[in-house]
Amino acid sequence: MCSRVIACIPAYNEEERIGKIVNEVLKHVNEVLVIDCGSLDNTRGEAEAAGATVIEAVGDGTYGNALIVGFKEALRRGADIVVSIDTDVRYNLEALPALLKPIVENKADVVIGSRYLPEGRIRGLSRKFLTWLLRRHRNLKNVTDGQSGFRAYRREVLEKVKPKGDDPSLAIEILVRAASHGFRIMEVPAGSMERRHGVERLRFLHLLALLISVFAILAHEDPVRFLTFPGIISIISGLFLLMFTVYVSVLPWIALLASFFSLFLVIFGVAASVISLSIYLFRREG
């Protein structure tokens, strides 16, 4: 293998599995970094015994922060390709060579191990909506698994993108920013996977926070598409609703409610359009 490949594996209380994971991953990479997120068991000992280098996560100890620590250390150690692996999912690690191949052959800069290929069927309404939202980005139209924690990155991607580690949207942040910089993104089948801890479902508050973060990222990267157009539609809808309440005879409480809602739509539309224009002018002048 000509390229130096380093795998980053955030881990928390994984003493039962981490050794097996490290052993399997070391068959395909040059070095494994296990980022320990404050484990209370013997995760460190098992990882080191299997041949990994263990690094203590700094900061808040979250998954996103641990990945940032791992990415920085991997780049410092001279990695040409950096692999991320989420231990909370039982990935088919035999798919790792397929994950690396497009980058080694210079066909891609980011490769995602997708849970939904080759069929392409995305499970879960929240996942479908999140994928639909991501596909609004001009360079992410074919992505099926934007939240997969099984990925490979060319060194230049992480150097250019400089992810901040903001949970819960780190994986998507990297993906969107990489796409905005024009890096080539590809997916490969990741094989059969299952959650280690129950079924993978997004709780409502987590999903809401994730969607807000994703929309903010997308709006920052492409403000015209994600702010101006919705803003204009919101203004038109608000004005139409206001005209409807004025010219159509309805109950007073319905008219009052409709007026408040139409006012909200107009204010939201104006604010979104102003923010979009400000971002556009700021980037143009910069």
- Average pLDDT score, the chain: 80
Q: What is the pTM of this model?
A: 0.75
What percentage of residues in the chain have a pLDDT greater than 70? 69
Domain with residues 5-203, CATH architecture: Alpha-Beta Complex (3.90)
Q: What pLDDT score was predicted for residue 273?
A: 65
User: What are the residue ranges spanned by the domains of the chain?
Assistant: 5-203, 222-285
Please say if the pLDDT value at position 219 is more than 90. Answer: no
Highest mean predicted confidence (pLDDT) among 56-65, 183-192, 216-225, 261-270: 183-192
Per residue in 88-142, pLDDT tens? 766 788 899 999 999 999 999 999 998 888 776 777 777 787 787 778 777 888 8
pLDDT given for residue 151 in this prediction: 95
Q: What is the pLDDT of residues 232-266, one digit of tens each?
A: 677 777 677 777 666 665 556 666 677 777 777 77
Spatial CA neighbour of 171 closest among 217, 124, 138: 217
